[in-house]
Structures are given as structure tokens and as C-alpha cells.
Structure 1
Amino acid sequence: MVLAVSPAARRAGVLPGMRRGGALMMAPEATLQERAPAREEEALHAVAMAMLQFTPQVAEGEEATLLMDVGASLRLFGGILRLCARVRASLRALGFTGVLGVAPTARSAWLLARGGAGRTLTIARMERRLQGLPVGLLPPARPYLAWLEGIGCLSVGDVTRLPRPGLQRRCGAALLEMLDAALGQAPEMFRWIEAPLNFQAKLELFDRVDNTDLLMAGAGRLLQQLTGWLNVRQLAVERIVLRLEHERGRVARPPTAVEILLAEAVWNDDHLVRLLKERLAKLVLEAPVIGLCLEAPEVKPMAPLSDSLFPEPGGTNEDRQRLFELLVARLGADNVLQAAPKADYRPEHANSWVPVQEKLRPADVVAQLPPGGMPRPAWLLPKPIPLLVRNHRPFYCSPLRMVSAAERIEAGWWGETQTRDYFIAQGEDNAHYWVYRERLPGGSEDMEARWYLHGLFG
């Protein structure tokens, strides 16, 4: 029996409820797909995991539906209209379409969604909407449709006006219980879906894929599930691993792992989508991909929002970290570096460049300056420049005048020993320079000291 048809098949005359032979008679070129209950269950579970990002109270309903209690989420998402738009966008990212129904009770929302009757937020409007729905939408009433149509009951409103004792004797208590729950006259009990302790989501592709651009659709579907899991567990992810599964059997290959390491933990999928898109764009597939598997091996509790009155200028620290992560994904970790101080008093050895994703110890970040040390220049030359000496004074564009006391630096005991006296010098144009004088070996006075320019002050 035909359960669902495409727009083209409907135009050809194929309607739900037809048998296989009748459908092929109306559209001989039509392609019939057999139902796969296991895959339908996987798809419903994937949607349920993604919907957890909007509310932790999600339950499975009859006939491939989901029930969501969003009463506590309306203010967070800016009202029911914006929340519905977010839900539809999440469904599109998962590759599905859905019909939404909104009502004060879960059973009414289920009936409105099944009947395409839209949204209602008040009890009075909900009752009016329910009155005009077909009675066939009520699952307990379907075995008795012939009898109900024979007595003229074609809508839900007609059924509610029948005598309750006689209706219960004829159709059973299940029909009355559903009507009472829909009208808010009886409590509704649900078993809410519980998110697993660890996240792992898999997706089997419909065909062999050898283009990384085509993998983003499936990866985005898995990231939607990750977002729901993180929100309901109140966690933020620090590292994700996307495994690309290849052929099995005699030509089996190990999965290709795409790892994303985050400097700042996140719980939304927007930033993860950008990073994963950059990584997949640079990936060269050695074999076609037949499946995807997403894991979140490193998570931590979700950090609360900042309670500061004024936002940080230039964006928050999380915004800067996301920019760095995007640059790393696009340019490579070896091309995005940060300064890492080293325990060495020699200026040219006191700093090194490490990948920006490498976490520094707090002790490494503190500048190691000697007590009472002079200010350091903002621009340190990569290699000291020898200076001319005129009238026993260093010369750089003009004679230099020392405006500070000497700061002696002696370091490099095990190699490249340096003994220098650093000064802040001022030229005739009032520019300031960082210069040093090499100490003469053995305190010799018959040799003229050599001067070098090592840095420039702003």
C-alpha cells in the first residue's frame, strides 16, 4: 500500500492508500521504495537528539511524531514564532521536513500537526480548532469510522457532543481518554527521552562519496545531534572526531579521522560547522566514503554566560579564540603562532613561537624581568646592528645620548655567553633606541667598546 507520494507522482494520479499495481498503472515510470523500519527509527532518534537543544523534555509520539514541552523555552528563544523557525531550520539541516503543531496540551498539538491546523496558544482557540478536525485523526476512533460516519459524526466536535457513557460502551475508554487529554481535562504523562552519557552518532550514506564537499551535509546532520546532546547535558565540547568510513571486505581500509581541537569549549554547532568545512576542504580522500561517525571524546561543564555589565571591547575572549581556530583550520597549525616566553635573560632567546592551540602554563606567561629592569622596546630587531662610534659615542643617523643607567645582562653559561650593558639612547630627532655595549674581555681598557642597536621604542 502506498503511504507517501512525491509531488510528481501525485500529479500523475498516484494517491496514498493505493495498492502497488494501481500505482504502477497510473505512473509506470514511478520508483517504489520499500519501508525500512530500522532506518525510520534511526531517523526519528536523530531528530529527537537534535530537538534536545530547544528543550530537555522531548518524547516520542504515535505515527513517527515527537512531542516537545517548550513552555520554559519561549523566552529564551524569543517567542513561539522564532522557536518554530529554529526548529524548522534544524530539521532542514538534518535533511528532513516536518509539520509543526502548537497548542497548550501535547495531544492537541499532535492533532493540529496531523491535521495541518497550525498554532494556537489559548485554550479557547484550541477548542475551536479541534472542533473542525476530521474524526479519523483520532487513532482510537479509526476502527469505528464506519459507525461514526453512519450516525453523522464526521469531526472531533461531533464526537465530543455524543453521550459519554454510550460512546465508552461502543468505542472503549481510550477514545475518551484521548479527547480529555487533548482538551486539557485529564493529565498527560510522558516518558522523556534521556540523552546517553557519551556521544556517538553514525550516518550511513546512500552512495559512495569521493567528494569532501558532499560530506558536509551528513556532517552537519551529526553536528545537529551533537548540539542537542550538549545542551541537554549542559556540556561544552573541546575536541570532536569525525571518522570517515570506507569500503569493507577484501578492500577494507581503516577509517579516516578528522580531528578538531578547540582552544575554547563550545556547545553550538555554528563554529564547529565552519571549522569542519575548512578541514574537509583541505582533505584528500584516498578511498570513497560510505559512512560517517562523530564522537565527542573531550567535554567539560558548560561555562555560564558573562555577568559583566559592559561587553569587552573588540569582542569576547571566546570570539578571538574562534577566529584563531578558523585561521588554524584554513592555514594550518604551523602558520598561526603565538609568543611563548622562555626562561632566558638574553633578549633574542627569551621568546619562542609555538602553535596558537598550544596551551601555555600560567608561569610561562609572566614576563621574566630582572628587579628594577628597564623598559623593553616594542620592536626587537631579529639581529643586532653594529653601530659606528664617533668621538667615543655610538652613532645612528645622529649621535646617540644615553638617557638611562646601564642594565647588565650576563647569560648563556653553557654556550653563546653574552655579557652586555644595555642603555636607552636618544637621538637628535628625539627617537629612542635600545642599544648595548659589549663588555671587553678581561676588563681590557685599550680596546674601544663595540656598540649595537637591538631594538626601537614606539
Structure 2
Amino acid sequence: MRLWIGLYLPQLPLEVFCPNWSADKASVVLEQERVLTCSPAARAAGVRPGMRRGGVLMLMPEAQLFERTEAREADALHAVAMALLQYTPLVARAEESTLLIDIGASLRLFGGIRALCRRVLANMRALGFSASLSCAPTARGAWLLARHGGARVLGMESLGRRLDRLPSALPPPARPFSSWFEGIGCFSLGDMRRLPRPGLQRRCGRALLDLLDAAYGMTPEMFDWIEAPTTFRAHLELFDRVEHAEALLFGAHRLLLQMTGWLCARQLAVERIVLQLEHERGRVACPPTVIEIVLAEATWRDEHLVRLLKERLGKVALGAPVIGLCLEAPQVQPMAPPSESLFPEPGGSEDDQLRLFELLVARLGADNVLQAAPQADYRPELANIWVPVQQKIRAAAMLAQMPPDVLSLPRPSWLLAKPVALLMRNHRPFYGSPLKIVSAPERIEAGWWSEPQTRDYFIAEGQDHAHYWVYRERIVGAAEDAQPRWFLHGLFG
């Protein structure tokens, strides 16, 4: 089923046109000498949209006046489009600050049209934009509904009835002739469609008929889809100087949403991101503060990255106020296919565990979250070392250096940090109760170059049926009548 979402952005945020505006100053954006939007301070002084330049200067001579910049507006719409690429690669820009999204193939993936619309609107709020959203089986139909306030229509018959009630001056080709349409009593698109087509074409041109035919599904539609660049780098100018790093999370989330859309469009997953906190420029310029996050497992979702950035920003002490953010994804890899497992893994998937480790590293520091890395040593207490969890270990190469028969021998799940000397009762080792040897011995001799160790390991069983890993120490060169010493080295689960 072909289904389109139309997003109309009726009023872009003030920082799109004047990034360095201040909340406590009067800032006004003009279009053709009339007010397009203004800051809260200017609105409190009586400035309203549509007011002329002279009226603004009469009310507030100190007001900062900015002209509407189409380049900045295009950049803002492109940022929104990049974030929407996470739902479908078919995103096109239409007239009058409107985006059209073909989401027919994405409905099942995101749980239906209602859930998808909620996610789109949530992303728009996170990006700092307000939008009028509509759904329709045709792109032009979605555009018209979004421009009129937004509505959701799923069937062609319902779309035709809804379009018939729209005002006749809504299509851009019809606006120059709005007084003529009112004069002949044509107030809606339904009335317009009942007019003779040859006469309507001679009076208004072919563009109006083409738009109506496309909106009602009578002709095919062609669009130039927005393509994601080969590399990602997004920049955001802050509307005020920020002195606390935690307050930058909202702006960083806006950049992460754009990166998420870029990753989905390029079918990539990010392994490392770099967030630059830009400070003052000019004579008091200082280098940006760099926050780098290295992921143990590549991802393309923004929720986990937001949590990591929140932890990292909470620990950053800013040396100067921040006026801008810049996010880059310098290290990416192809997106891994989803798991084919029929049943979920107990305790969460491997990705869930890796995300937990990354969150702990961001909160506690890389030196406080460790993992075991195997070493080629026969002594159990030296068979591994502890390294940061983010460090890549070559366990396969290390284990390949060990004999195959060693890898098949039983090992306890809990190895004591230091062996515990055992008492001897009736010539048997004692640990809470007499221990019964239930396995053949395993001899380990190692450490000739540093600390030589000669041990005979056994699996012992207590009266409570618990199993222990014990060893008998062989002292080379000791007297024949010397009693062997027994030690507890591990416990089996």
C-alpha cells in the first residue's frame, strides 16, 4: 500500500535565521519588510507577525532586525529530512517548508501508522520544530492536508471527500486567481473540479490541473529524493552561551537524531563518535572541547548514545562558554543483520549486555570496568589478566597457544584470589567437613623462570555434596618424611 506523510513546518525556530540571538533581547526576522517571527522580548513589547519594519522600530528602536535567509531555512529542513531517513529512504522536499515521506513499506516495521506518526512527531519536538502532520495515499494529497492543518486519510475515497472540502485558494497555482474563484462561487476544491477543464486550464494554466490530478491519484507523481552524504558531519549553533555541559544534551540529541537517519539511510552502524564543544571565536578564541565515545559494539540507535553522552557531559568541566556543537561519525561499519534467533536470550541479548557495559564505562570510567583476557600460562592465578572492557582482546589467539587437552579439563566457576591452606584430619584435607577426592590428579608445573610451582590438582567433595578445586603442593627437594600441604583454590557451581 502506498501511503505518504506530509510534514508542514509553519514557523521555523528563531535560531534558524539568527543563530546568536539572545533570549533577553528583542530579535525580529523580516520577510519583505514585514515581521515573520520574533523573540519573546519583542513579542512582550507589542511586536506581532505581519507588522512592518517601521512599526517595529517605533516600538523598539534597539531591536535586532534579521532578514529571512533561504539558505539557513534549507539547512534546517535538510536536518529534519536527515532525521526522518531512519523511517524510509524516500524523503522529498516540497514547496513552502514541507517534507513528503513515503512510509508505505515501513508500517509493519514501526507498528502501524499511529505508532509511526507518534515517533515522527516526537522526533520533531526533539529537533526543536513544530509541524503539521498529515497522511494520505497520494503525495500531493498529503501536502494539501498538511498545509490545511493536518489530517490522516488512508483510503482513496476518503481522501477524495476530504480534499473536496479544502478551500480553493489552498493550491499555490490557484492563489493568484482567488478573487475570480470567489466571484464565481467556487469556494472549495470540489467546486473547482466541477468546472470545465478546458476553461480552467485557459484561465489558470496547466499547473493547477496537474496538481489536482496528482492529489486525487489520477496521475503518477515523480520526486527528487534526498540522498544522504557519504560522510556525516552536523553542526548546530546555540542561541545562547552555555556554561554548564549538562545543558548541552538537548542540542546533542538533535545532532544524534540526524546521525541516526544518516546511518539508516546508508545502512551503517557507528563505532566511534566525536562531539566538539565550540567556544568563543576571535581574540578570546580557545580550542574546542572534544568528547569522544568509542562503542564496544557498533550501533545505529540514538537512545543508547544519548545515555552515554548524558553520562560524559555530566563529568565535563567547561573552561569557557559553549556557543556551538559539532558531531562527527569518523568510524563506521556495515550494519549487521538482525538476529535470526527464534527465542530471546535469557538475560537479554549480547547487544543489551554491551550497551550496559558502555553505560557503566561512561559512568564509572574505563579503568573501573574490566574484563578477563587470557594469557598463555598454566598457573590458574596467572592464566588471565584484567583489561578495560572496551579493549579488543584476541582470546582465540591466546587459547591457540595452549594444548588442546588443557582446554577440555574442568575448571571451577569461582577461583579464589589467594589459595587457602587446609587443615589435615585423619590424613585427609578438611574444609568444614572431611573432603573426599573424586577425580584423577592433574599436575601443573610452571614458572621455572620466575616462581616455580609444582602442584597436583584434584576435585574434592564435602559431606554437603559441594565440590571444591584443591591441590597438593609438591615441594621439590624436601625431605621424604615431609607432609604435603593442601590448599583450596576454587569452588564449583
Deviation at 1:215, TM superposition (A): 0.5
Aligned residues: 458
What is aligned with 1:146?
179
Is it true that 1:321 corresponds to 2:358 in the alignment? no
Deviation at 1:31, TM superposition (A): 8.2
Change beyond 3 A, Cα 1:3–1:145: farther
Deviation at 1:385, TM superposition (A): 2.8
Question: Which of 394, 417, 440 is matched with 1:405 structurally?
Answer: 440
CA distance in 2 between counterparts of 1:370 and 1:96 reads 62
Change beyond 3 A, Cα 1:369–1:129: same
CA distance in 2 between counterparts of 1:408 and 1:201 reads 61
The amino acid across from 2:453 in the alignment is Q
What is aligned with 1:379?
414
Change beyond 3 A, Cα 1:284–1:15: closer
Q: Which has the higher contact order (CA 8 A, sep 6+)?
A: 2
Question: Which of 73, 84, 89 is matched with 2:122 structurally?
Answer: 89
CA distance in 1 between counterparts of 2:422 and 2:180 reads 108
CA distance in 2 between counterparts of 1:45 and 1:63 reads 14
Change beyond 3 A, Cα 1:131–1:9: farther
CA-based RMSD: 2.9
Change beyond 3 A, Cα 1:113–1:13: farther
Deviation at 1:39, TM superposition (A): 2.1
CA distance in 1 between counterparts of 2:239 and 2:52 reads 27
Is it true that 1:252 corresponds to 2:285 in the alignment? yes
1:76 is paired with a residue of what secondary structure? coil
1:405 is paired with a residue of what secondary structure? coil
Question: Which of 468, 471, 493 is matched with 1:436 structurally?
Answer: 471
Is it true that 1:49 corresponds to 2:82 in the alignment? yes
CA distance in 2 between counterparts of 1:389 and 1:70 reads 76
Change beyond 3 A, Cα 1:27–1:74: farther
What is aligned with 1:67?
100
Change beyond 3 A, Cα 1:108–1:365: farther
- Greater CA drift, 106-115 or 241-250: 241-250
Q: List gaps (5 residues or longer) in structure 2.
A: 1-33
What is aligned with 1:451?
486
What is aligned with 1:127?
160
1:371 is paired with a residue of what secondary structure? helix
Is it true that 1:285 corresponds to 2:314 in the alignment? no
What is aligned with 2:452?
417
Q: Is the 8 A contact 2:35 2:49 kept in 1?
A: yes
Q: Is the 8 A contact 1:13 1:27 kept in 2?
A: no
2:247 is paired with a residue of what secondary structure? helix
CA distance in 2 between counterparts of 1:391 and 1:151 reads 116
The amino acid across from 1:419 in the alignment is T
Change beyond 3 A, Cα 1:365–1:274: farther
Deviation at 1:450, TM superposition (A): 3.2
Q: Is the 8 A contact 1:342 1:364 kept in 2?
A: no
2:439 is paired with a residue of what secondary structure? coil
Deviation at 1:14, TM superposition (A): 6.9
Q: Deviations over 1:60-86 (max 9, x none)?
A: 111111111111112222222221111
Deviation at 1:37, TM superposition (A): 2.5
Deviation at 1:28, TM superposition (A): 10
CA distance in 2 between counterparts of 1:114 and 1:177 reads 18
Deviation at 1:156, TM superposition (A): 2.2
CA distance in 2 between counterparts of 1:264 and 1:417 reads 40
TM-score (norm. length: structure 1): 0.91
Deviation at 1:429, TM superposition (A): 5.5
What is aligned with 1:295?
328
- Greater CA drift, 115-124 or 340-349: 115-124
CA distance in 2 between counterparts of 1:85 and 1:142 reads 33
CA distance in 2 between counterparts of 1:143 and 1:41 reads 25
Deviation at 1:203, TM superposition (A): 0.7
Change beyond 3 A, Cα 1:41–1:225: same
Q: Is the 8 A contact 1:223 1:269 kept in 2?
A: yes
What is aligned with 2:219?
186
Q: Deviations over 1:77-97 (max 9, x none)?
A: 222222111110010010101
Q: Is the 8 A contact 2:132 2:150 kept in 1?
A: no
Q: Deviations over 1:89-122 (max 9, x none)?
A: 0100101010012211111111111111512122
Question: Which of 304, 313, 317 is matched with 1:271 structurally?
Answer: 304
- 5 Å matches for 1:15-26? 16-21=49-54
What is aligned with 2:20?
none
Deviation at 1:334, TM superposition (A): 1.3
CA distance in 2 between counterparts of 1:97 and 1:77 reads 22
Q: List gaps (5 residues or longer) in structure 1.
A: none
Q: Deviations over 1:156-195 (max 9, x none)?
A: 2232222222222222222222122222222211100000
| Identity across the alignment (%) | 70
Change beyond 3 A, Cα 1:132–1:15: farther
1:207 is paired with a residue of what secondary structure? strand
- Greater CA drift, 428-437 or 334-343: 428-437
The amino acid across from 1:381 in the alignment is L
Deviation at 1:324, TM superposition (A): 1.2
TM-score (norm. length: structure 2): 0.84
Deviation at 1:34, TM superposition (A): 3.9
